[in-house]
Amino acid sequence: MNKVYGVEYTVKNDKGEVVDTNVGGEPLEFISGKQQMIPGFEKAVTEMSVGEEKEVTIPSSESYGEYREDLVQTLPKEQFEGIELQKGMTLYGQGPDGQTVAVNVKDFNDNEVTIDYNHPLAGQDLTFNIKLLNEREATADEVLAGQVGGSCSTDGGCGCDTGCGCH
């Protein structure tokens, strides 16, 4: 059975810099087995007991993958007309399958723009400080909807925003 986990966490990159945290805010809640979290994080959380705190280093192979040079592409600058480019900025577009794709601008000049499809944390081992706040069985509606608190109506409509995965 899928479980709902509520956690408090801080994550640091391989330079020891904090890249994300929810400490002092709302707990991060997710349903196990739904690929909502990076594999190493989910595995670490599912091995914990409520109230337990631990630090875990997750290798890039269990987080955002290895950095791949083949995911870096140089395109004509005309394709970015009307965009005030900045090195390091994230741009969003649509992939061939219709999904939203994020790319980072690595560099640009008067003629070309180099973009990177790798996740910004690809190739880095990440260190998480995790506290498991709560754990419970996911409801049938949550499992079906694929989100915590999700519900599906009997007519096939979602009790959530469109695209939640209800069938």
How far is it, in rounded angstroms, from Cα 8 to Cα 3?
Answer: 16
pLDDT of residue 147: 83
Domain with CATH 2.40.10.330 in the chain: 69-116
Q: Is the pLDDT score of 164 beyond 90? A: no
Domain with CATH 3.10.50.40 in the chain: 3-64+124-145
How far is it, in rounded angstroms, from Cα 57 to Cα 153?
Answer: 41
Q: Which CATH class is domain 69-116?
A: mainly beta
pLDDT digits (tens, 9 = 90+) for 92-146: 988 788 888 889 999 999 999 999 999 999 999 999 999 999 999 999 989 888 8
Helices (H), 7-46: 39-46
pLDDT of residue 99: 85
Q: Which CATH class is domain 3-64+124-145?
A: alpha beta
pLDDT of residue 167: 36
How far is it, in rounded angstroms, from Cα 138 to Cα 136?
Answer: 6
pTM of whole model > 0.95?
no
pLDDT digits (tens, 9 = 90+) for 74-89: 999 999 999 999 999 9
Q: How many other C-beta atoms are found inside a 10 Å radius of the C-beta of residue 103?
A: 20
How far is it, in rounded angstroms, from Cα 52 to Cα 64?
Answer: 25
